[in-house]
Amino acid sequence: MSDLSYVRKEMLSQQAAPSTSVGVIGWMRENLFSSWLNGLLSLVALYLVYSVLSAILPWVFHSSWTANSLQECRQQISTAYGPDAHGACWAVIRERYLQLIFGFYPSELYWRPILAFGLALLALAPVLFTGLPRKMLQGSLAAPFLVPWLLWGGSFWIPVSAALGFVLGYVAFRVVSSLAGSLLGLIAAVAAAVIWWLTLASAWVGVMDGVIPLGIEAISSRNFGGFMLSITIGLVAITVSLPIGVMLALGRQSNLIIVRAICVGFIEFIRGVPLITLLFVASVLLNYFLPPGTDFDIILRVIIMVTIFASAYMAEVVRGGLAALPKGQYEAADALGLDYWKAQRLIIMPQALKISIPVIVSTFIGVFKDTTLVSIIGLLDPLGLSNAIRANAAWNGVVWELYGFIAFMFFVFCFSMSRYSMYLERKLRTEHR
């Protein structure tokens, strides 16, 4: 029995997988040609990719970087690549990239916007990346005062006096709320800060300038332009709109009918009209709404309107976060005996904001993209500058290079931000499971 010759005694060595299911061929069979329809689709897609790349790549690389005008560009390209070659004139980017980035900001002061945006990034870092030490958040508080000062310049005491308003408000809140309760404390805080800013602050700045003249060269916002302008508008709008948006969202969720009606009306009105009409308001109407004789510059007006616009959207984002919180969280806060503001500050907001961070980031991307609209009312953002550059006789007719560069820059900014928000989403999801 035991010597049955057809029973194999030792294991056979494993055979290699068929060559059609491993390696490049196997991958292609599985992912590109799994059925005849898929194969057809792949071929069509390949042809599409080929035709797009064969149209664009030669144009991108048969280019001139050194010319000083469009004519010179065309000459250089036709001598280098033959008379039929169509090439990009990247020379316009080489000559004007600083202008596209900084607008007409004085070139010897470029360090200021760079430092300001670096500071802003540093201040945002502990908010964006939870791995960083929480202590950094205290440093972030200084950024809203330092960044505008670096950008616009002027006396150092202006940002200090603005910050002093908040300090005064805080002191007033502590003193009054210990005497007469938190509601009166809040009112006293707001009153103290507003009185300081409206009446005493400017006098105080004058006095301090007399005693210790400390300041940097003031730059008028007329000189702002290019990506610096876009980033300034976007950054200010998003930082200011977040607290306003939180307040609006709370107002919309509150039980107080009148407060809720005001908030809903504001949010729906702003979200119902296009941004361009709000920019029209900034450029032609805002002066009607302010006391006669008030006149401040167009960039500030635009920033105000974009901020209002972003606040309404932010309110809806935060409301989404509030709605996503389980009802038990509100009830648990009530059960602990926390009052409304304590519950919001300690229980609700930290969780609601954490849920909505990805959407906040996409709102920021949206606002940043929308800053291009300011070119319609005549500000020199990158798109407005590209028209200004084409108005120059040397570069008249340069279209694709400028649009391509601007699109590329926006893509880099927005794409990296959207990747960041996806990273956040992934991280938050694992935390909840």
Partner 1 sequence: MTTVSDAPKATFRLSMLIYDTRYRSMTIQVVALFAFMLMAAWLINNTAQNLAALGKPIDFGFFTERAGYDINQRLIDYSSNSSHLRASVVGLLNTLLVAVLGCALATVVGVTIGVLRLSKNWLVARIMTVYVETFRNVPVLLWIVFFMAILIENLPPPNAFRGADPAASMLFGDSVALTNRGFYIPEPLFSRGLGDISIFGAFNVSLELLAVLAMLVGGFFAAGLIRKRADRIQEATGVRPTTWYLRLGVIVLPVVALLYALGFYLGYPALKGFNFQGGIYMRNSLIALWLALSFYTAAFIAEIVRSGILAISKGQTEAAAALGIRPNRIMSLVILPQALRVIIPPLISQYLNLTKNSSLAIAVGYMDITGTLGGITMNQTGRELECVLMLMLVYLVISLIISVVMNWYNNRVKLVER
Binding residues (CB under 8 A) for partner 1: these are 31-32, 34, 38, 41-42, 45-46, 48-49, 181, 183-184, 255-259, 262, 268-269, 271-277, 280-281, 284-285, 287-292, 365, 369-370, 372-373, 375-376, 383, 399-400, 403, 406-407, 410-411, 414-415, 418
Give the residue with the Cβ less far from partner 1, 62 or 163: 62
Report the residue number, 66 or 254, with the smaller CB distance to partner 1.
254
Query: Which structure tokens are listed for 168?
Result: 């005064």
Compute the distance between CA of residue 105 and CA of residue 99 in angstroms, rounded to an integer: 8
What is the smallest separation between the CB atom of 153 and partner 1, expressed in angstroms? Answer: 29
> Cβ closer to partner 1: 152 or 227?
227
The H-assigned helical ranges of 254-274 are 257-272
* Largest CA-CA distance found in the chain, in angstroms, rounded: 115
- 49 vs 122, beta carbon nearer partner 1: 49
Q: Does residue 368 contact residue 86 with C-beta atoms inside 8 Å?
A: no
- State the nearest-atom distance from the C-beta of 54 to partner 1, in Å: 16
> Please, what is the minimum distance in Å from the beta carbon of residue 168 to partner 1?
21
Residue count (the chain): 433
Minimum separation from the CB atom of position 8 to partner 1 (A): 40
Contact 113, 226 (CB under 8 A): no
Using alpha carbons, select from 164, 148, 157 the residue that is nearest to residue 212: 157
CB of residue 43 to partner 1, shortest distance in Å:
10
Q: Specify whether the CB–CB gap between 19 and 29 falls below 8 A.
A: no
Sign of CA dihedral 295, 296, 297, 299: negative
| CB nearer to partner 1: pick between 158 and 315 | 315
- Token couple for 339: 């009052």
- Minimum distance from residue 220 beta carbon to partner 1 (Å): 25
Q: Which CB atom, from 62 or from 369, has the smaller least distance to partner 1?
A: 369
Q: Are 186 and 149 contacting, i.e. CB atoms less than 8 angstroms apart?
A: no
C-beta closer to partner 1: residue 17 or 46: 46
Cα–Cα distance measured from residue 69 to residue 396, given in angstroms and rounded to the nearest whole number: 9
C-alpha distances in Å from residue 84, one per residue of 72, 78, 364, 399 = 16, 7, 44, 19
What is the nearest approach in angstroms of partner 1 to the Cβ of residue 412?
9
